[in-house]
Chain A
Amino acid sequence: MATNGSSLSRPLGLLAELTHRCPLGCPYCSNPLALDKRSDELDAETWARVFREAAALGVLQVHLSGGEPAARRDLEQIVKAARGAQLYANLITSAVGITAERMHALADAGLDHVQISIQDSDEKSADRIAGYDGASQRKRALAAEVVKLGLPLTVNMVVHRANIERIEPMVELALALGASRVEIAHVQYYGWAMKNRAALMPTREQVERAVKDVEMLRQKHRGHIVIDAVVPDYYARFPKPCVGGWGRRSLNVTPAGRVLPCHAAEIIPGLEFWNVREHSLDDIWRNAPAFNAFRGDDWMQEPCRSCAMKEKDFGGCRCQAFLIAGDARVADPVCHLSPHHALVEELAQVRADTAYAYRG
């Protein structure tokens, strides 16, 4: 497949990691183990340029994320810039550290939607997972504020061994908070989550029960709340179509301006990432070596190369292939057809009730 020609698809979404700073320490954080420093963060003006270039490239939605995006004092200005570029502005927040007044100002700046993470329906457990006393109360208070302002709210709940048996009360909580959407996201094992894998990994029975719970709750609350689910990777037979295919639908800009095909991509050795400080987003999307590394199917090996599923799952996740099989070019080991699949099954059996390594 040509990578520079007209067949190049256009990205729909931009994940803007405004900062890696965060008051919480969630052990499943997908940020890299080595965090970008505050002094290296892009300024608001550069973000504004990136948003304009993103819109010209076809991007429709920008997800303002981090770390905790509100750790930036100029977040209002950044939201305005996103809307000024005609992008749909989505805030992904821990909710800790945002006052009611600030939320008001962010809504006035043109925010379209807010996603708040909630760690558990049980408050003690939630605060323990977040590594922050009182986080749960603050989150609930800000959620109420978001709804009062008339902004749509998504509650994001990352599911793992400590809370997987409380999916029903977690969805009930999202409903009670006035969310129109809830995301039940099984932990994906990258970054800090990889480091804490044994402490987070649920059992197969728990996962099977959780999948049934979600289906039951979807039917029960249809028309009242939308339930989206991120599948539990390690117990699947087929891999996820990671980020909708490498360099096809989305891009990720780190706090310091490096542009990645997905947020974990920097763990893959040998990839060359370009920075928005030196290149336009259009140039990066078309020509950056990291973006072209796994586009199309030239890079694929068997069993992917001759598999009909390659059009749907694109061989799964490159980062996972590297993390588990040691080679980013092989099939995602989650796939039951992968010669490395037994490794995934073994890893899922490694569970230990050790203390979390909280992110820094």
Chain B
Amino acid sequence: MSEEPVTSVSSAARPRLPRGVRLVHNEAQGGWLLLAPERVFKADAISAEILKRCTGEATVEAIVDDLAKSFNAPRERIFADVTKLIGGLADRKLLELE
């Protein structure tokens, strides 16, 4: 995603996969995949970790905290990665923000 997302992502938003979008792990196709309407996206390891946490319950803030702790990484950097991914996926109707 080269362009900046048009969807703005607040810390309090609770992202979730909408109906018709599923995160699956498939050995034959080489790992994590996002199944969407008539499209399939490969999810890299970082994206998969973020998407697994998009349950509609956790806020963006909680997801960032969790990832920063789990991967012992700087919070600001994770926040930037998470909001960019979530915003970009929301633009493409692959995530919903509650």
Given contacts A60-B35, A61-B35, contact A112 B22 (CB under 8 A): yes
- Residues of A within 8 Å of B93, CB to CB, are 152, 180-181, 225-226
Q: Within 8 Å of chain A (Cβ to Cβ): is B7?
A: yes
Residues of A with C-beta under 8 A to B80: none
Partner of A61, one of B5, B6, B40, B90: B40
Residues of B with C-beta under 8 A to A58: 26, 28-29
CB of A88 closer than 8 Å to a CB of B: yes
Most chain A CB atoms below 10 A, which of B18, B38, B90, B93: B38
Contact across chains for B20 and A151 when beta carbons are under 8 A apart: yes
Q: Which residues of A contact B20 (CB under 8 A)?
A: 112-113, 151-152
Answer whether residue A357 sits at the interface, using C-beta atoms and an 8 A cutoff.
Answer: no
Instruction: Name the distance in Å between A115's Cβ and chain B's nearest Cβ.
Output: 7
Interface size of A as a range? 20 to 34
Residue-wise, chain B 7-31 has the 8 Å CB interface mask toward A (1 for contact) of 1000000000011111010101100
Check B28 against A113 for contact (C-beta < 8 Å).
Answer: no
- Known contacts A113-B38, A180-B93, A226-B93; is-contact A60 B19 (Cβ 8 Å): no
Query: B6–A223 contact, CB under 8 A?
Result: yes
Chain A neighbourhood of B29, CB < 8 A: 10, 12, 58, 60
Query: Please, which residues of chain A bring their CB within 8 A of the CB of B33?
Result: 60
A150 at interface, CB cutoff 8 A: yes
In the bound complex, how far is the Cα of B28 from the Cα of A151, in angstroms? 28
Q: Which of A75-121 contact B (CB under 8 A)?
A: 86, 88, 90, 112-113, 115
B: number of interface residues (CB 8 Å): 21
Question: Do B18 and A152 touch across chains, with their CB atoms under 8 A apart?
Answer: yes
- Which residues of chain B are within 8 angstroms of A222 by Cβ–Cβ distance? 6, 91
Known contacts A60-B35, A223-B90; is-contact A151 B7 (Cβ 8 Å): no
Task: Give the CA-CA distance A115 to B39 in the complex, in Å.
Answer: 13
Interface flags, A163-199, vs B, CB<8A=1, else 0: 0000000000000000011010000000000000000
Cα-based distance from A79 to B29 in the complex (angstroms) = 23
CA distance A225 to B94 in the complex (A): 11
Nearest-neighbour CB distance to chain B for A352, whole angstroms, equals 34
The answer to whether A60 touches B38, judged by C-beta atoms less than 8 angstroms apart, is no
B92 at the interface (CB under 8 A from A): yes
Contact residue among B5, B7, B28, B35 (Cβ-Cβ distance under 8 Å from A88): B35
Q: Is the CB of B40 within 8 A of A60?
A: yes
> Across the interface, do B6 and A113 meet the contact criterion of CB distance under 8 Å?
no
CA distance A183 to B37 in the complex (A): 11
Contact check, B6 vs A181: say whether CB atoms are below 8 A apart: no
A323 located at the interface, meaning its Cβ lies under 8 Å from any Cβ of chain B in the complex: no
- B37 near A60 with CB under 8 A, answer no
Is there contact, CB below 8 Å, between A226 and B92?
yes
Q: Which residues of A contact B19 (CB under 8 A)?
A: 112, 150-152
Give complex CA distance A112, B22 in Å: 9
* Cβ contacts under 8 Å, A61 to chain B: 35, 38, 40
A63 CB contact (under 8 Å) in B7, B18, B21, B38: B38
CB-based nearest A residue for B3 = A222
Decide yes or no whether A44 CB sits under 8 A from chain B.
Answer: no
Q: Which residues of chain A come closer than 8 Å to B37, judged between CB atoms? A: 90, 112-113, 115, 152, 154, 180-181
- Asked if B38 contacts A115 (CB within 8 A), the reply is yes
* Complex: A50 Cα to B74 Cα, angstroms: 48
Residues of chain B with a CB closer than 8 A to A90's CB: 37-38
Chain A residues closer than 8 Å to B18, beta-carbon distance: 152, 180
The reply to whether B38 and A154 form a contact with Cβ atoms under 8 Å apart is yes
In A55-74, the 8 Å CB interface with B consists of: 57-58, 60-61, 63
Query: Which residues of A are found within 8 Å of B6, using beta-carbon distances?
Result: 222-223
Q: Taking beta carbons and an 8 Å cutoff, which residues of B are in contact with A?
A: 5-7, 18-22, 24, 26, 28-29, 33, 35, 37-38, 40, 90-93
With contacts A10-B28, A154-B37, A180-B18 known, what are 17 further pairs, Cβ within 8 A? A10-B29, A13-B40, A58-B26, A60-B24, A60-B26, A60-B29, A88-B22, A90-B37, A113-B37, A113-B38, A151-B19, A152-B18, A152-B20, A152-B93, A222-B6, A223-B6, A225-B93
3 smallest beta-carbon distances between A and B, as pairs: A152-B20, A58-B28, A223-B6
6 A–B contact pairs at CB < 8 A? A10-B28, A60-B40, A152-B37, A183-B38, A223-B5, A223-B6
